[in-house]
Amino acid sequence: MAQQKAISGFSKMSASEKVRWLKEVHDLSPGDVKNLEQHLHPDEKTQQTYTEFSENTISNFFIPFGLAPNFLVNGKWYVLPMAIEESSVVAAASHAAKFWSAHGGFHAEVEDTVKVGQVHFFWTGDPRAIQDIFKRSLTTLQNSVSSETESMRKRGGGLINLQLINQTENLDHYYQLHTEFRTADAMGANFINTVLEKLAKEWKRLAQEQVGQNNLEGELEISMAILSNYTPDCIVKVWLETETSHLGGFDASYSGEAFAQRFVRAVEVARQDTHRAVTHNKGIFNGLDSVIIATGNDFRAVEACGHAYAARDGVYRSLSYAKVRNGKFRFELKIPLAIGTVGGLTSGHPMARTSLKLLGDPSAEELMMIVAAAGLANNFSAVRSMITGGIQEGHMKMHLANILRQLDATEKQKSAALTFFKKRTVSYSAVKTFISEQP
Ligand code: MEV
């Protein structure tokens, strides 16, 4: 039977009722049902934790949790937890980390950690009148959220800026209360949104009161109160630096100097060409997202912000930058990362807790530097591969290993296949034929 109409009360159904409905109405096969069941956690309490993260949960969707060792960041060693399904990413990060650990490691600094929130509203009256109302209301507005910001202020954060912005040139009657926050070790989304919603209510009340008291013309309508995921002042910078002569070992065809020049030009291409820049930045996000997901942070927020930042001058460009000067190669990444190490999933997800422990329970700023190092490591490895043997060489090795695993190849068959496919194209059927011909 195929579904004929919308279903009501779906969210109230238990997980097994939902699966039964899938079986009946969507012809889910017994194999698929078994698959759903097999991916549930055997421990009921742990499963309950996962179930409650989201809505209408009927199973779990696994992705591998791997480790990238040998990350030396500001002189401190880390093993990075990486949650990612794409092969080669963890290997690429580890490879770059090991190489750079012998050349000073990753240098990193957090430039600032300012987060942004906005109350969007429409005002039909005179722009000068709303400015005056705002000026008269500023202290009351700030005080109105002091109980919400108190504990954050004790941790060194809180509401640090509140301004009125006139946007009527872009949209009729449109204004914003632009707010800035520091949120200590929390990503701070819930905190910011709570403060903004309170500010919005108070702003409406104060404006109405003053319109009445002063016989002003105009109506104020609140549209939305919400944080902005664009945080260009929550910025981390990470860089690698060494003598160009140290870069000679990657490909016999290139001296260290020649490698460095090729590298710089490849990154320059990604600064100038948007098609290349998107792929280049995707390679950076391979590393960033893996650690962000493993530590229970919001990778969609970081991605949206990172891509907007990459286009901040009106053209989408590479987020990283490379140069050679006075015999030294420098490779740098500057990126906004609004992430936290307390609250939300960082403490609620059992694997995120383990990840943070692995990293030595870092502060949010330390995690920003670690995450940025992962991004730069993956970016270095990708560009290095492309300007030397090509990206497929490494990918194909992994691909071959995956196929051999699927085919249950013996150790002897595996080693024969590795030699045979060194200079041949890897495909599932070619490997299968090769294995079937082996003793
Ligand atoms: C693949 O996941 C990422 C790369 O395409 C990145 C790049 O091209 O720089 C290899």
| Burial call 350-365: b when 16+ CB within 10 Å, e when fewer | ebbbebbeebeebebb
Q: In what order do the strands lie in the sheet with 328-336?
A: 107-113, 234-243, 328-336, 320-325
CB of 383 closer than 8 Å to CB of 268: no
Distance 298 CA to ligand 1 centre (A): 22
Distance CA 221, CA 111 (A): 36
State the CB neighbour count (10 A cutoff) for residue 320: 25
Best of 273, 391, 395 to mutate for ligand 1, by most ligand atoms within 8 A of CB? Answer: 391
148, 185, 289, 298: the active-site residue: 298
Cα distances (angstroms) measured from residue 279 to each of 276, 286, 302, 392, 399:
5, 10, 17, 15, 21
Distance CA 393, CA 391 (A): 6
Give the number of the atom of ligand 1 that is nearest the alpha carbon of residue 379. Answer: 9
| Burial call 11-43: b when 16+ CB within 10 Å, e when fewer | eeeebeebbeebeeeeebeeeebeebeeebeee
User: What single-letter amino acid sits at 95?
Assistant: H
Give the number of the atom of ligand 1 that is nearest the alpha carbon of residue 391. Answer: 10
Domains with residue ranges and CATH for the chain: 1-62 (no CATH), 66-112+232-389 (3.90.770.10), 115-228 (3.30.70.420), 395-436 (no CATH)
Cα distances (angstroms) measured from residue 96 to each of 236, 271, 360:
20, 22, 22
Distance CA 202, CA 149 (A): 15
User: Tens-digit pLDDT profile for the chain (439 aa)?
Assistant: 788 889 999 999 999 999 999 999 998 999 999 999 999 999 999 999 999 999 999 999 999 999 999 999 999 999 999 999 998 999 999 999 999 999 999 999 999 999 999 999 999 999 999 999 999 999 999 999 999 999 999 999 999 999 999 999 999 999 999 999 999 999 999 999 999 999 999 999 999 999 999 889 999 999 999 999 999 999 999 999 999 999 999 998 999 999 999 999 999 999 999 999 999 999 999 999 999 999 999 999 999 999 999 999 999 999 999 999 999 999 999 999 999 999 999 999 999 999 999 999 999 999 999 999 999 999 999 999 999 988 777 777 778 888 999 999 999 999 999 899 887 888 899 999 999 998 7
Reduced to 3 states (helix: H, G, I; strand: E, B; else coil), residue 418 is helix
- Indicate which residue's Cα is closest to atom 4 of ligand 1: 283
DSSP state of 105: -
Distance CA 310, CA 335 (A): 8
Q: Which residues line ligand 1 (CB under 6 A)?
A: 86, 279-280, 282-283, 286, 382-383, 391
Give the number of the atom of ligand 1 that is nearest the alpha carbon of residue 280. Answer: 9
User: Whose CA is closest to 375, among 340, 343, 331?
Assistant: 331
- Mind giving me the DSSP string for 4-58? -S--SSGGGS-HHHHHHHHHHHH---HHHHHHHHHTS-SSHHHHHHHHHHSSS--
| Residue 395 falls in the annotated catalytic set | yes
Cα distances (angstroms) measured from residue 296 to each of 80, 114, 156:
14, 21, 23
Best of 285, 286, 388 to mutate for ligand 1, by most ligand atoms within 8 A of CB? Answer: 286
Terminal CA-CA length for the chain:
50
| Residue 86 falls in the annotated catalytic set | yes
Reduced to 3 states (helix: H, G, I; strand: E, B; else coil), residue 107 is strand
Distance CA 431, CA 435 (A): 6
Hey, what are 140's tokens?
Answer: 């009351």
Distance 365 CA to ligand 1 centre (A): 27
Distance 266 CA to ligand 1 centre (A): 13
